């Protein structure tokens, strides 16, 4: 490999590492519901039989409470305007890259170049349910890379980023 191509590869790897671990965020809502009048919320308990990491649940609640607090929402157990249900999970994914044919310095066919990359994809979903009708009125989803060798500080950062991006357009205008 030529020296300039090694530097270019290192630069690309650095840029990829610096980019966000959250790569897909979306939301949807019931356009017939007037969410502008919402001011209070509460969390729904995790249903029996659903296994979720207790620390992850705390991280998501802390990040969501902070984001909603900045938007002027207040958590209350007394007749909240909406309830929040949380869903989270992860699965192993594989992606393949194929660069086609390579050539030697004399322009002879050198074979195909392809690579496979395994990664853990995490998904976080926040469902907002109307407190009175108990109907789903808003849903935000985030997908991102989950580092198997992470640490608590990185996990906090990842969850904060996911929640911030999910709630960026809540409430819809």
Domains for the chain: give ranges and CATH numbers.
Answer: 21-169 (3.30.160.670)
Residues 155, 157: Cα–Cα separation, whole Å:
5
8-state DSSP, 2 = -
Model pLDDT for residues 138-168, shown as the tens digit of each residue: 999 999 888 777 788 988 999 999 999 999 9
Q: Stretch 23-34: mean pLDDT, rounded? A: 92
Task: Tell me the three state secondary structure of residue 89.
Answer: strand
Residues 40, 75: Cα–Cα separation, whole Å:
5
Pairing of β 82-103 and β 74-75: unpaired
For the chain, the straight-line distance linking the first and the last C-alpha, in angstroms and rounded, comes to 53
Residues 115, 112: Cα–Cα separation, whole Å:
10
8-state DSSP, 23 = E
Strand partners, 80: none
Model pLDDT for residues 77-120, shown as the tens digit of each residue: 999 999 999 998 878 877 777 766 555 565 555 566 677 777 67
Residues 68, 126: Cα–Cα separation, whole Å:
12
Least Cα distance to 156 among 49, 21, 45, 9 occurs for 21
Question: Can you give the pLDDT at residue 62?
Answer: 97
Percentage of the chain with pLDDT > 90?
Answer: 50
**Total-model pTM:** 0.76
Strand partners, 83: 42, 129
Indicate if the pLDDT at residue 54 is higher than 80. yes
């Amino acid at each position: 490999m030529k020296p300039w191509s090694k530097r270019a590869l290192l630069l690309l790897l650095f840029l990829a590492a610096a980019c966000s671990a959250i790569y897909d965020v979306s939301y949807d809502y019931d356009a017939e519901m007037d969410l502008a009048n919402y001011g209070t919320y509460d969390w729904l308990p995790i249903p029996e039989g659903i296994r979720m990491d207790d620390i992850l649940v705390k991280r998501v609640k802390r990040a969501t409470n902070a984001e909603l607090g900045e938007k002027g929402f207040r958590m209350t157990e007394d007749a909240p305007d909406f309830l929040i249900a949380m869903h989270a999970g992860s699965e192993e994914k594989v992606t393949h890259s194929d660069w086609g044919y390579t050539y030697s310095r004399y322009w002879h066919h050198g074979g195909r170049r392809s690579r496979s990359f395994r990664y853990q994809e995490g998904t976080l979903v926040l469902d907002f349910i109307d407190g009175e009708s108990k109907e789903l009125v808003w849903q935000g989803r985030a997908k991102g890379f989950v580092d198997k060798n992470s640490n608590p500080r990185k996990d906090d950062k990842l969850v904060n980023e996911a929640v911030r991006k999910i709630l960026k357009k809540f409430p819809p205008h």
